[in-house]
A and B are shown apart, each in its own frame.
Chain A
């Protein structure tokens, strides 16, 4: 979601990097562009001003301008400041309290509270082994309580039975009692969406807070929010007192300015990030990774983690063994193609790799998408096991049959075989390097110089 911002910034920085020596005016010009880029990314104006002035103070110092690589120095300062603004380290959900620990979800209408409540409940249940109960206090939106109940059934998390006509504070008390009596570890309270300027409803949520004494009060906020993000975050923090922010719709193509602003104005960490409608599309928020992504330096750590979580361990071990021997047949290629799509497709992988922003753009322009990989898989699927093990047996008539089976032209089959040959060749080289003790260039390796900027 940070693509557009990172594109803009990397353009600005390319200009800086090319220069040997930087004058003060060069830095000022670049920062003016940074300012516009951030504003267009919906970063709140006071936050932008503050950010730019801090970067300027540091960047115009003598040491930077006289250093050998002034452009890179400026980028490093921008990166460090971004991380500082987003919150230096990731902070998780606090569950250290006497059970039932209460998590209160608040926010504007339509920010995604109910969905986020269910996602977090699922995660706490499955990953942390907690016994979780959810209760909807939304007595305003038609069928809101019903929505949470249905989600609870989907994810296998208990919800407080709905009693028609009960008011939020009463529901809260009933939920507290039920959770205590039935031995729940965590009670999640989903509230109605409310405007931060609606005094009556803000009073209601305060009453709920007082009745439930939550350990976490999370402001659920849409990452597509504009300049108003500051007012919303300030008001909710001031009135209700929040402990953190959950950003939703991070899978959108917004530029993420709200993420930068909310943390900056409240000083409260962004704890969670929602990436889609599926119930497991909720991730921890890692400030330094997001900062790197914004600057187009990629998010290698996330990619590796994602890979570790999705790629079957057995597959990986089998693959590693084969790679060590320098073997790579079409079966292996198919496994890789499948893993790619499990990782969220090539676009999402490229987005996480350093310096790939531009390639990703070019690919989007040429409309290369995951369909290509599906087609390639279809071609491999149309082969016999023998053909997959020994591609050299493939003659013209076999290729024709395969093409017909996969519904493609023979030329596509040839293209795939060529790609496979190149990959096999690479594998062979890598296995040789591995034996000689030199580590091969892995996907996580960064272009020279960039490693300095990652923590």
Chain B
């Protein structure tokens, strides 16, 4: 664990995102030293945005915006980057909203969802520690009653964060566990309850039905809960992330997104496409395995890093 090496969070974000953006920014550099903005150049630029997983349609939109008023004119790399970053930032700005657990709900219930291996359990563990450090009374519920040792994994996070974890044996009903967890959280006067769920692919209808039931049951026990239903997206995921958000939103009434694994070379451009299509709040990004590596989402930094601007 990298808890020991303390860096400023901006440094971590930058380090994390720098690797994500290396390729695209060299790419832009290669196209433009100073050259005419013609069809070929635009196509190359569009291709580069596609390699950042922005998707064909968003990439097309961005290059069109760049070409507006600049077509056939000489343009240099810096200008291209600045314009693109500004465009991307404008798309992301409306969706940057941190998770707010101070809305007066007691407990404030957060349900974590997503496909297998996206990083739900890890994200919950990090959030628990962060809220605990902020002086909140936190509780976690090990709602992944399917995967072997998922419960143990969360229990370890519980020990690290000094937070109690509600568990049931593997194979028990996830909805029943969620119900019990909400009940306990109310009894014990907890501020924030974080509920984990098993990973599920969005095209598995029976599993999605199960998730819908978990959401329903939580709402039955506590009016208005879950107050946040978050999907965890893996930054290495491609255009399929759009479909993940679409289906989870429909079935589990998503209220926000957390994107993990931005410390690799994956650029997470699909987040821009998600913001464009669903306007769901983006709460945080994960740039490493340490607890402090779960960072608030900053559209400006994200946009500038995507195009390789310092």
Contacts and interface: CB of A to CB of B under 8 A. Distances in A.
Nearest to A152: B148
Contact of A252 (B150, B201, B264, B266): B201
A393 interface: no
B238 A258 contact: yes
A147 B243 CA distance: 29
Interface in A120-166: 140-144, 146-151, 154
A253 B55 contact: no
Interface in A213-264: 222, 224-229, 231-232, 235, 249, 251-255, 257-258
Nearest to B52: A227
Contacts of A112: 116-117
Interface in B81-112: none
B240 interface: yes
What is the size category of the interface that chain B forms with chain A? 35 or more
Interface in B41-66: 47, 50-53, 55-56
Contacts of B148: 146-148, 150-151, 154
Nearest to A257: B238
A304 interface: no
Contact of A253 (B47, B118, B201, B266): B201
B194 to A, nearest CB: 16
Contacts of A258: 238
B146 interface: yes
Given A228-B265, A228-B266, A40 B153 contact: no
Interface in A39-85: 39-42, 44-45
A147 B150 CA distance: 7
Interface string B266-302: 1100100000000000000000010000000000000
Contacts of A143: 149-150, 152-153, 155-156
Contact of B201 (A109, A141, A151, A249): A249
Contacts of B155: 142-143
B157 interface: yes
A356 interface: no
A195 B263 contact: yes
A142 B153 contact: yes
B130 interface: no
Interface in B215-241: 234-241
Contacts of A24: none
B267 A141 contact: no
B156 A42 contact: no
B23 interface: yes
B270 A226 contact: yes
B19 interface: yes
A254 B152 contact: no
Interface-centre pick from A39, A224, A258 (highest chain B CB count, 10 A): A224
Contacts of B115: 224, 249, 252
Contacts of B240: 42, 224, 226, 252-255
Contacts of B53: 42, 226-228
Contacts of A177: none
Nearest to A197: B19
A252 B239 CA distance: 13
Contacts of B170: 150
A36 interface: yes
A167 to B, nearest CB: 15
A110 B234 contact: yes
B204 interface: yes
Contact of B289 (A140, A253, A255, A277): A140
Contacts of A255: 239-240
B119 interface: yes
Interface in B129-185: 146-150, 152-153, 155-157, 170
Contacts of A225: 236-238
Contact of A224 (B56, B150, B237): B237
A142 B155 CA distance: 9
A226 B237 contact: yes
B143 to A, nearest CB: 15
B203 interface: yes
12 contacts: A36-B56, A40-B239, A110-B118, A143-B155, A197-B263, A222-B234, A224-B238, A226-B236, A228-B53, A229-B236, A231-B23, A251-B204
Interface of B: 19, 23, 47, 50-53, 55-56, 115-119, 122, 125, 146-150, 152-153, 155-157, 170, 201-204, 234-241, 243, 261, 263-267, 270, 289
